[in-house]
Amino acid sequence: LAKTTQPISMDSYEGQEVNITCSHNNIATNDYITWYQQFPSQGPRFIIQGYKTKVTNEVASLFIPADRKSSTLSLPRVSLSDTAVYYCLVGARGGGFKTIFGAGTRLFVKA
Amino acid sequence: ETGVTQTPRHLVMGMTNKKSLKCEQHLGHNAMYWYKQSAKKPLELMFVYSLEERVENNSVPSRFSPECPNSSHLFLHLHTLQPEDSALYLCASSRGTDTDTQYFGPGTRLTVL
């Protein structure tokens, strides 16, 4: 199973772009990279998923270099409501039961 | 709203009680999961059901007993729990076990006295 490493916490201010990087040196050829967001006392929520290069949706962008040993979640113009824990997962396309949630990155957005 | 509901949202129980957590998904998914999230710890996968058959049991103590009567409902029966079992219990579902995004319920906050 590919292990992921993320910063434990990050601080930002409203309106800034936030980039959270995840390392996954042992990623397998058929592994996808998935990011989830979790607010306190709620279940995680899917944000974005990618395999290589760049993926963008209405919430975030995901940048994946050619070697796929890391990935960066980019949140444009964060607001106070983006304060949450962000998890990077590597594994079967949707996560599946073989995917392990790590400790995540606690993002705190300040006014 | 993710299409996955859990009841109750909060539960306080003594160590000798028996209680059950309920999860229901309205997404037509075939796989359902139970996770445990203790304070400041990563999510721990407990059980996985695929098409009502248990496919994963992550060395969970027998005081936790899952039940999946159909693909839309999942229960977690609790008996003789310990205070260290206090946690947020999350249910999730997905279309399949390997290929699709998991959709999580809001969780049940369990406190064992």
Q: What is the gyration radius of the CA atoms in chain A, in angstroms? A: 13
Under a CB-based contact definition with an 8 Å cutoff, are residues A67 and A33 in contact?
no
Q: What is chain B's length?
A: 113
Instruction: Out of B4, B42, B48, name the one closest to residue A102 (CB).
Output: B42
pLDDT in tens, B87-108: 999 999 988 776 568 899 999 9
DSSP A21: E
Please tell me the distance in Å from A43's CA to the nearest CA on chain B: 5
Please tell me the distance in Å from A45's CA to the nearest CA on chain B: 7
Report the residue of chain A nearest B109, measured CA to CA.
Answer: A41
pLDDT at residue A98 greater than cutoff 80: no
Q: B38: which chain A residues are within 8 Å (Cβ-Cβ)? A: none
pLDDT (0 to 100) of residue A23 = 94
Interface of A with B in 90-109 (CB under 8 A): 92-98, 100-104
Question: With 0-12 CB in 10 A as exposed, 13-18 as middle and 19+ as buried, what is B52?
Answer: middle
Q: Which residues of B touch A (CB under 8 A)?
A: 2, 4, 31, 33, 35, 41-43, 45, 48, 55-56, 88, 90-92, 94-107, 109
Cα-based torsion angle of the residue sequence B21, A105, B42, B86 in order, rounded to the nearest 10 degrees:
-50
What distance separates the 2 farthest-apart alpha carbons in chain B?
40
Determine the average pLDDT of the residues in A77-104: 81
pLDDT in tens, A53-84: 899 999 999 999 999 999 999 999 999 999 99
Please judge whether B42 and A100 are an interchain contact, meaning their C-beta atoms are less than 8 angstroms apart. Answer: yes
